[in-house]
Structures are given as structure tokens and as C-alpha cells.
Structure 1
Amino acid sequence: MQSEKPFKLDYRIGSADADYRSQCRVSALLEHMQLAADRDLAGMGVTVSEMLDQGLGWMLLTTDVTIIRPARLEEEVSLQTWHKENKGVTWLRDYILTDREGTHLAEARTAWALVDLKRRRVVRPSALPFEVKSHPDLSLGEAPAKVTVPSELSLQEQYRLTVQYSSTDSNGHMNNARYADVCCDALTLDELASGMSRLQISYHREIRMQEQMIVERSEVTEGTVWVRGRLAEENESIIFEAKLSLADSTASPSNQ
């Protein structure tokens, strides 16, 4: 079914959203993207509580965010989002962040899956007993590509992170938006100063409170830094993989 207009969330960049440069952190943008999606679905009757009653939940698979110009502290912005379409078991949702004049600040494409929480299995869209309106004509492009670190690249451990209360959400595991901070924490000061023009993340498995993550990264290659998180246990299974495109490709190689 076609909805009349995409959902829009108006807000101001607050001090909790900004980094040391008074620019909106990527993780804060991802947090507002989650909020906008939840409110869009809630307006259709698909609330979090209703889904939990049905034993269902959402699992984010891949996020691809292009940052045209970082929003600034106290800037008023608008975030539009819409469910685009389903492809197989995948739900595709797009986003556009604009300033007061309507100029695009960021664009994002995301891929989600519907999960049976009891069996921890992905289920088909038909398993959702609600109607989700779509905007297939407003597509920002194809489904975001899965991020896979090239096999020829060598990644080095940067730090280890134990998931604590501050990183978790109502599901009891690290919130999806927090992974942007994990990636940025692996960058040097020079790389942070250069800014980020694009962030692509694929989520492979959950990590829960008190579990430890090994965060690895590559050297800067053609303006790109690859970051990967592994579980700090015997199997060291991959938690996420990410590709960070620096806005200033002249940033110096990492010497961390």
C-alpha cells in the first residue's frame, strides 16, 4: 500500500549529539534514525510493544550512510524516513536528513530482517500481522551492499571493549548506533579531523553485556579505513564489519 508522505522527524542538534568539533556524531544520527523508524511504524500501529506481544523483533543487517555535510550543534534539522520495499526476507528503509532550507545533509539506506525472538530465526515479511506502508517510488538506490573486509587486507587490533550498561538497549545487547562510536574510537586524531564522508556497517551477530569485543582496523587505503569487531572468546566470531570513507583522503596513515 502506498502512503501519502514519508514520516518526518524535526529536531535540534543538542549538546549530547555533538562531538568535540561541535558537529553531530554519526552515532547520534543513527540514534535518530532508529527513533524516526520506530515512530513511523508506531503511526501504522506497529509499536515495539505490539511486536513483542507477537514474539517478533527487528534486526538491522546493513547501514550505508553518506554524509554530505555534518549537521552542527544547535542546528535545526529534519529527518525523513520511509519503508521502501521488501526483497525476499529483507526490509529496505531509506532516510534523508535536511537543514531548514531543505538542503540534504545526509542520506542513508538500511536493510533489516524480521526475527522470531523465541527461535532467534529470520522470518518472512508475511509473518508480521500488520500492514506496513511503503514508498517504492522514493528509493535512494539499491539495497545497501553487505560489508566484507577484503581478504588481502591486514587488520591490527586497536583496543578491546567490554560491553557495559551504557552501550546496551532494551534487547540487552549493544545498540546498533553505538557501533559508529566503536569505529570512530579506532581512528587517529588526524583521521577524525579529516571527517567522514560515508559509513557502511554490516552487523553479523549480537554482543551482550559483559562480553568483550576485539576492535581491529586497517591502515588508510585510498581514503578508506576498514574496521572489524570480533568476539573475544575462543571462536572469535565476527560481530561487525565496517568501511569508513574519510572526507579528506590525504589523512595520514595510522601509526597506532
Structure 2
Amino acid sequence: MSFIQTDTFTIRGYECDAFGRMSIPALMNLMQESANRNAIEYGIGVADLEQRGFGWMLMRFRLRMHQYPGYGQTVQLITYPTSVEKYFIYRDFRLVDEAGTLLADAASTWLVFSMEKRAMVPLPDFILSLSPPTDVHPLPRLPLKPDFQVRPFVTTQEKEVEVGWLSIDKNQHVNNVAYVQWLLEAIDGETLQTKELAEIDLVYRTESHWQDRLLVQSTVETPDTFLHRIIHSESRKDVLLARSQWKLN
């Protein structure tokens, strides 16, 4: 059977930014929650994988904001898998208001890793056998290596963070939304106060863990576009690469 997850949320104050708009980390957390609820329906939730010694890891994520919802607004979050391959499962998200107007959408690519080896593995048969919905229109599949991943990167802003206990999830690594919050908080103040995020495209490269020290770096690509990189302070290994696009409030 195939399952489409639809969850209804009323936006709370602590999920909003300084302008009363739903914050990007809050939206991504709700997307993650709905994705896990949908995965449970398929028998591939976090607990299902954990029992078999596996965990989910997000590899690619692109979020597009069409219209920001605000405090007290009721929205629906819809998510479903779109296809399954040997190593990857693809999932889409749509956020709509009560009238059905599209507020945001996101495409994502997930992989499975071995909890013991902390390494990527082929999708187990119980995941490969699932049936995605056929009556949906999938978003374009994200390239595994987007163009910004190979662009020259000359850091213009840098901020160091230490991974705290509350940034760690059940897979014993940093939750993917924590990286986005660090990335956004490192943006210059003028951009944060005069513009809103229109799109963010993310490539997750490797894990980080409690008490790791990370460097959050960014550089200007165009007046409305930034490139971002989060690396381990000591090893200099890439943890996350990203591009963000902004528009005037």
C-alpha cells in the first residue's frame, strides 16, 4: 500500500521569527516530524530501522518558500515518498494554507547508514519494497552534486560553534535542522532584517557529534545569493554545503 501523510498544525509563537513569520528551522522540524509519521505508516520509521541496526540520514534537501505563514495560522503539511532506488529514497513536501494555497515545497533525498559502522549501506529489502503514491506530481529530483558544490569558495564570514547536547538526535549525531539554524544565524544582520529566505539548497556530507567544534562559513555569490559551508574545525572535512537565495521583505 502507499500512504500520503497530511498533518494539520496551528503555528505557535515560539515557531515564529522576529517578524511573526514561521521560522525556517520550525518548518523543517515539522517536515521532519511528518516524514517520520509517514515512514511509520510504511514500517520504515526511526524505531523500525533502529531495531535492525540502521538509521536514516538526510543527504539532499531543497526548500522553496512561496509565502510565509504567520503566528496563529493553520496550515497543512503533506509528505510522501516519490521513488526508491538501490541507495536512495526520495521524498517531497508541500505546505498549504486552509484555502489550499501553496506556501512552501521541498524535495529531499535520504540514505540509510549502519549504526555499527557509521557508513552508508544499500537500502534494505523492506525499504526497497515499499510502494510510493502514483497519483502525485513529484518535484524535480535533486542532483547528487549540485553546481555550487564544486564552485570556488572564498570565505568572507566565519563563526565557530561547539555542538551542544540538545543538537544531538536519536541517531547520536547532529540533527539536520541544527545545521540550518547555525547557517542562518551566521548571515549578516542587514540581510536578516531586510530580506526573507526564498530558497535554500543543502548537501549533507558527513556526521558531526556532541562537543565537536565546527566552522560556519559563508561567501557572497550575488547580491541576493550566498554560498555556505560548515566544516570540522580540526579535520577541515565538509559537513554541509549550501546555497541560500533571499528576497526583500
TM-score (norm 1): 0.89
The structure with the largest helix share of the pair is 2
Q: CA deviation at 1:35?
A: 0.4
Which runs of 5 or more residues in structure 2 are unaligned?
Answer: none
Equivalent position SS for 2:179: helix
Match of 2:196 in 1: 195
Quick one: distance in 2 between partners of 1:47 and 1:229? 28
Give the letter aligned to residue 179 of structure 1. Answer: Y
Inter-partner Cα distance in structure 1 for 2:69 and 2:201: 19
3-state SS of 2:174 partner: coil
Aligned to 1:95: 93
Preserved contact between residue 56 and residue 115 of structure 1 (Cα < 8 Å): yes
Aligned to 1:218: 219
Percent identical across equivalent pairs?
22
Partner Cα separation in structure 1 for residue 127 and residue 109 of structure 2:
20
TM-score by length of 2: 0.91
Q: Is there any run of 5+ residues in structure 1 with no aligned partner, and where?
A: 252-256
3-state SS of 2:160 partner: strand
> 3-state DSSP class of the match of 1:218?
strand
CA offsets, 1:162-189, max 9 Å, x none?
0002222122221111122112111122
Which residue is 1:133 aligned to? 131
Aligned AA (1:45) = G
Name the SS of the counterpart of 1:16 in structure 2.
helix
The question of 1:241 aligning with 2:241 is answered yes
Q: Distance in 1 between matches of 2:206 and 2:175?
A: 12
**Residue by residue, what CA displacement relative to the aligned partner does 1:89-137 show, whole Å, maximum 9, x if unpaired?**
1110000000111100000000001222222232223443685330255
Say which of 116, 119, 128 aligns to 2:117.
119
Q: Which whole-Å deviations, capped at 9, do the CAs of 1:176-220 have from their partners, x for residues lacking one? A: 111221121111222113101001111101111100101110025
Quote the Cα distance in structure 1 between the aligned partners of 2:166 and 2:45: 24
Q: Give the corresponding residue for 1:38.
A: 36
Q: State the Cα distance separating 1:49 from its structure 2 match.
A: 2.0
The alignment yields a C-alpha RMSD, in angstroms, of: 2.0
Deviation at 1:62, TM superposition (A): 0.7
Residue identity matched to 2:142? P
Closer, same or farther: CA 203–136 of 1 in aligned 2, 3 Å: farther
